[in-house]
Each structure stands twice: as C-alpha cells, then as structure tokens.
A and B are shown apart, each in its own frame.
Chain A
Amino acid sequence: MNAQNRPAGINATPLLENATWCVPDYDALLWERYDEIYHLFNPGSGQTHIINDPAYEALKELSKQPDNMTGLLVRLELDQEPEKVTKHFRRLLWELDQLGLIVPVTS
C-alpha cells in the first residue's frame, strides 16, 4: 500500500488537458467492492489502492476506449457543468497517472 503525496490542487498542463489516456492492463487489475469504495490491486506495481466511485468509473471508461479529459467527461455525462468537475478530474487523472493506473497513449 502506498501513500501518495497529494497536492491540494493540480495546475492545468498540456499533458493533463490534452493527452489521450488509457488503462494499460485493465484485465489484470483485481477489485474488491465495499459499498462506495473499491480496493484495487495492481499487479503491475504490486500496490493496493483505495478507489472511490469517480475513479472507478473513469478507469472503466478509459479501459473501454482511450480518451482525453474532455472526452471522458462527455462519456461520464459530466460535461454539462465542466467548470465544476474539471478541477477534480484534472487531479484525478494526475493521481491515476502517478499510480501507474493510466498512461498517456503515444502515437
């Protein structure tokens, strides 16, 4: 289990705003659901994470099809009020990237 250094806010960067993200080995992830949280074991890192619903939904969507943040918000039907959720999803993508659960797609 890891303890991430989570900053209070994540600034917009070209990578976070524009990159297309994917889940590198979604089928290998192990999940346990406990009400509104999930325990997620990533065999790639050997680490166990506590994942909330938004993170679970984001990972599930990105596993179906890689996408950028804007596209992800559309697919999650969160694009109606983007100013309210963009900051949170910027941070979420940053954290998932730091944990190695998502990676930017390179062409």
Chain B
Amino acid sequence: MEILRVENLSKAFKKFKVIDDISLSFEKNEIFTLMGQSGTGKSVFLKLVLGLLKPDRGRIIFQGEDITHASDQAWIEIRKEMGMLFQNGALFDSLNVFENVSFLLTEHLNISHEEKVERVYKLLMEVGLKGIEELYPSELSGGMQKRVALARTIALNPALLFYDEPITGLDPITAAVIIRLIRELNKKNKITSIIVSHSIKTSLEISDRLGLLYRGKLVALEEAEDIKNSKNKYLKQFIEGSTKGPIEVFLEETV
C-alpha cells in the first residue's frame, strides 16, 4: 500500500536544476534509500517532500492526499505524521535531553507531567539510553545526540520517517547501533523509512529498495536484492566507486 508518491517533481535554484522531473512512490513499512554523490539534490528532495521548499513543478501525494500546495496550517497537521532525523541531530541546545524528547508531547498532546516522564523514559529506553535526562546536547557525544534526536522524532509515532545521512560522521560501532535502531523502528512501530545516504554499505544492508540520484535525476531504482546483479551503468559505477562510467567525475590535476 502506497504512503507517499511524488510525480514529476522539479526544483531549480536560479537556472540550476537540482531536482529534475522525479516520479517515485513509497510503500508503507518499507525502508527506501536514496543514494547519490554530494550535491546531487538528495537533501533538497527531502525538503521538498517535507514542505520546507516549494517545488517548481510536480505533485506530492501523502496518504492519498495532494499536499503540494497545502497551507501553512494544513502542513502543521501533515507534519505530525512525519518525522526527520537530521544529519547533525538538530537537538535544541537550550533544552536538556528530557525537554528535547518531551518537546512534541508538550506541544501536541495534553498529557500530565507524570505521563510525559513515563513516555520520555520509554522513548529513551527504545534508543538504548538512560540516566541522561538532565544533560544538555553539548554534553553528549555525536552518536548519543543522534539517538536522542531519534527518540524525539518518534515521540508521536509518525507514519513516515526521513533520515538525512543517519550514520555520517559516526564510528562503525555507533553507526551499527543507529542502523539497528532504524530496522527495529521499522519492524516494531511499522514506520516507513526514507533514508538519504551516500554510504553504499549501509544502504545495501538496511534497505528494501534503493534509488540513485545523479544531477537531480533518478537514474536507477532497484530492489535491494537485485542491486548486485543490476545492469544499470550508473548504479554499477556508484557501487564500484569507479571514476569511469556515465557519472562524470572532475579530478583536479595534481603535480
């Protein structure tokens, strides 16, 4: 069953096309990874789908409803069904861990303090953390910040979760923890996950389907199990990390 669909989505900054006529649909409860080099429009794609940027052309359909030109007030309701884990976590640095995780509960639910405390503890346990409620983001490691941010993001149990480079900058063990968490959330909470990443290893390990962006165009779309035998030249070059192929690489001459 489809949860999100984009049709002919396009976005340009001045004359530079960042997203160029992308059509793609996402199934409920799947893990989809959008891969691509840096600067190919992955983050812009996320911002378009989340309504942070307006597309120049195309449609966005979420849970059967066209939300492309939704009003600010309508987006407030739509976004309660969505969540996003930012590359840097984007925790509120003036709030402590408890206040960060309870932020959505305070804003959107009318619950007692006791219930809030209970839910925050449960959410932190879900991401494998406890005893850090009083700490501020600056007192946490990068991996812990991401886990706290993840706990905050899933507080309202969203139907759709976006991850922007979830493991970039993390050590392999912490990265493995985050990957495991994404999988668990997908299975236990039935959350559809759309990941933006340039890490092939992680993408193959975690995803049901993968897409590849190149110069704003979707040049490959495959089931994860078919990736290794794919005949798609873009995909092959990207996976092999080769400089030869349809993906142009500009190398600076060195002396």
A binds B: no
Q: Interface of B with A (CB < 8 Å)?
A: none
Q: Interface of A with B (CB < 8 Å)?
A: none
